[in-house]
Structure 1
Amino acid sequence: MPDIPSVLQIGEKDSKGRLTLSRGDLFTLGSKVETAQDAVNFYVAVCSWGAGAKARDIYRRIPTLKEPDVGEKLLGGIMLAKDSNVEAEDAYRSFRTSDQYRLKGLGPAFFTKLLYFAAGPTDSKKMRHLILDKKVAASISWPDKTWWTPSEYREYLELINNVVEHLPEAERSDCLEMQLFNP
């Protein structure tokens, strides 16, 4: 049995005594991914954060862990996200296409979280990766679907990064993404 990531053992607790994860915790964990086991631990942490307290969403993330070469595939896509020389669209494509790092049960709503946290925060207002899910897509009046193409992901990043340039109160483009998730 692999070790439980320390970020899932120690930390702040909510009003019910449950451990909580922050975006900062996940950026820290993402920056430390170097092995297939690190990638699996990172996936578990990101999915725990993304699913929150919804048991149904947590349950849906488990089949991915049973996929062949899950650690290596997660690591491959995560390393692309961390590499500033790799276009965001290409890192997205790596998890979306079956010939590279695609995993059953891991769709854009969760693999964009992996990309975002693996790439880490930036000193610029613009970010290379952002989370894209149905709630964010609905907030920008995109069609109700869950599998966006790599070019649609690029267009989404361009849109958010361009809009944030006109919002002096937004520290970075992920601040706008958070507002779109919780309008």
Structure 2
Amino acid sequence: MTKLDELFRDPPPDRDSYVLGQAIPFNPDQWITRLPSGEWWPKRLADLPRVGRWPTVDRRTVFQMAEHAHTPEGRRDLLIAALVWGTGTNAREVVRRVRIFHENDLEWLDERICGAQAEIDRGDPVAGYLVLNDQDAQVKYFGPAFFSKLLYFSTADRPVGERWPLIIDSNVALALNELSAQEWEADKRWDSKKYASYLELAHSWAERWGTAPDVVERTLFTRGKQLKSGAR
């Protein structure tokens, strides 16, 4: 049995709980004090209940916020929510994430995001990826691991076209390196051709497993974390 067969041997997990319910804790103060303005903090995040010490945000909530991303403020709220969900409570990582807002022209940043969103709305996630990964117009401190999250959430859980935009990060890349014949460097800024290849693999595996593509994405992420920790 191959490693790919082993990974997808059991019935797929329920998407509603495994994917949409994936909740990440965060410390609001770490963000509010570092954003250009305290007024930037999305109301939807401010209203989330605490689970233990911190409030948590799940994928379902971020998807819902994409419903209002048709204005600059709405796109900014969605971007912040995607960053929060992807960062957790690590203060050092929060500092790195908010540099997006301090090291880029904000109007230009919104134009890039708006352009990527237009490609997602047309059903072309690879073109959307390319907008934000343009070598001649890269958004500073906004690499694929995070802008792919924004592309994913910007669908509002209603992706169009044959391919869903999916999240790719170092954990997913490690799993891909183990499971595919291609070479995936975990710390590389993957180009659009590499992203297209990832989407093709993830969608084919989802069809084979009888599940949604983002169930495969989270399964790859989990496997990548295991590989980082030295698990077999």
Matching residue within 58, 70, 95 for 2:106: 70
The corresponding residue for 1:90 is: 127
1:43-81 CA-to-partner distances (Å, cap 9, x unmatched) read 211111100111121111111101343254235424533
The corresponding residue for 1:149 is: 191
Q: How does 1:151-170 map to 2 (within 5 A)?
A: 151-168=193-210, 170=211
TM-score, scaled relative to structure 2 = 0.69
Matching residue within 105, 111, 122 for 2:158: 122
Structure 2 residue runs without a partner (length 5+):
1-36, 178-183, 224-232
The whole-number CA distance in structure 2 between the counterparts of 1:71 and 1:50 is 23
1:63-100 CA-to-partner distances (Å, cap 9, x unmatched) read 11013432542354245335432521111011111545
| More displaced 10-residue stretch of structure 1: 80-89 or 114-123 | 80-89
Matching residue within 33, 49, 52 for 2:85: 49
The corresponding residue for 1:179 is: 219
| More displaced 10-residue stretch of structure 1: 7-16 or 65-74 | 65-74
Larger Rg, first or second structure (1 or 2): 2
Cα 1:71–1:44 change in 2 (3 A) is farther
Task: Kindly indicate whether the alpha-carbon contact (under 8 Å) linking 2:116 and 2:132 is maintained by their aligned counterparts in 1.
Answer: no
1:60 aligns with 2:121: no
TM-score, scaled relative to structure 1 = 0.86
The whole-number CA distance in structure 1 between the counterparts of 2:101 and 2:148 is 17
Matching residue within 31, 41, 47 for 1:10: 47
The whole-number CA distance in structure 2 between the counterparts of 1:32 and 1:91 is 19
Task: Kindly indicate whether the alpha-carbon contact (under 8 Å) linking 2:124 and 2:163 is maintained by their aligned counterparts in 1.
Answer: no
The whole-number CA distance in structure 2 between the counterparts of 1:152 and 1:76 is 21
Cα 1:74–1:98 change in 2 (3 A) is farther
Q: CA RMSD in A?
A: 2.1
- Richer in strand (by share): 2
Q: Percent identity?
A: 26
Structure 1 residue runs without a partner (length 5+):
none
Shift of 1:123: 7.6
